[in-house]
Amino acid sequence: MWDKGIHFSVYREIVDGKVKLPNLSENTMNIRHVLSNPHFQMMDLKAPLSANPELAALILQTANSSEYYGIMPVETISEGIIRLGSEQVTSLLLAHSLKGLFMSGHLPSQKLIRGLWEENLQIAALCSAIAQRIQNINKRFAEDRALLAGALYHIGTLIFLGYLYEKRLPQPTGAEVRRIPEHIPTSIAVILAKKWNLDSELTECARNRNSFNELREGPFSLQDILDIAVVIHRHYHHSDNSVPKLEDCHAFKKLETTMLLRDTAERFLESVENHARLIIHEISRNL
């Protein structure tokens, strides 16, 4: 049986900064630094984007998508950045970088870690699909930003298990992982979010990853998208009866009332599930 005390000692090492956490690439950090300046010059992005052709292609593809398409298609990266805006480009950058770090096929073959990685991918895809589904009501919820919020869900646990694997320490079973105190993976995820300088909304998604039973006041938010995705994943994919049905989820009720969503829970679920499968296929194909 796994030594339960080990998770506290490993957790303490991570919190005390004794464990090297995954970092965004230097190129990614350079682009973020430029975009954070409201008066940045396009020339400042020329070198870092030249070193990241996949991101440059993604910017053009997104700028010419149906969501952002203008009178004329954009043909240059500069035009694409202007059309999208620095905030959306930053979200694309982070989501793209996160795929490389936590949605990679190059994980240890250890079954438990692979399983959690696949769950992370499913929740991220559900978040992105939900954002896409409600964009016709509220344009604030970009798919890539929602993808990033969902991809933070299991980050703390993956880092924790990855450290155990790397150090050849005893591995917990799936049931034992579910009994790890919630504050451990949550705290690790928040530490990483701060290390990456993620904004407060994304950091709060990492902090409140299992808050789907909470009734939150205020407008529909990115946290509500995450709550709905977690409810769908845990209740409908894993038959977890401790999680409410979609129609009983506070976040979904808020979506119905504040955003005038006229779909039934059943139709909403079917639409989101179908789109999430396409997203998973697309991400997996590009790994």
The pLDDT confidence band at residue 205, using thresholds 50, 70 and 90, is very high
Expressed as residue numbers, the domain containing 36 is: 6-285
pLDDT digits (tens, 9 = 90+) for 224-267: 999 999 999 999 998 898 899 999 999 999 888 876 677 788 99
Q: Are 110 and 165 in contact (CB under 8 A)?
A: yes
CATH number at residue 258: 1.10.3210.10
Residue 269 lies in a domain: yes
Could you give the number of structural domains in the chain? 1
Please tell me the pTM assigned to this model.
Answer: 0.78
Segment among 48-62, 192-206, 216-230 with least mean pLDDT: 48-62
Residue 53: CB partners within 8 Å, gap ≥ 6?
none
- What percentage of the chain exceeds 90 in pLDDT? 18
- Averaged pLDDT, 60-67: 79
Residue 1 lies in a domain: no
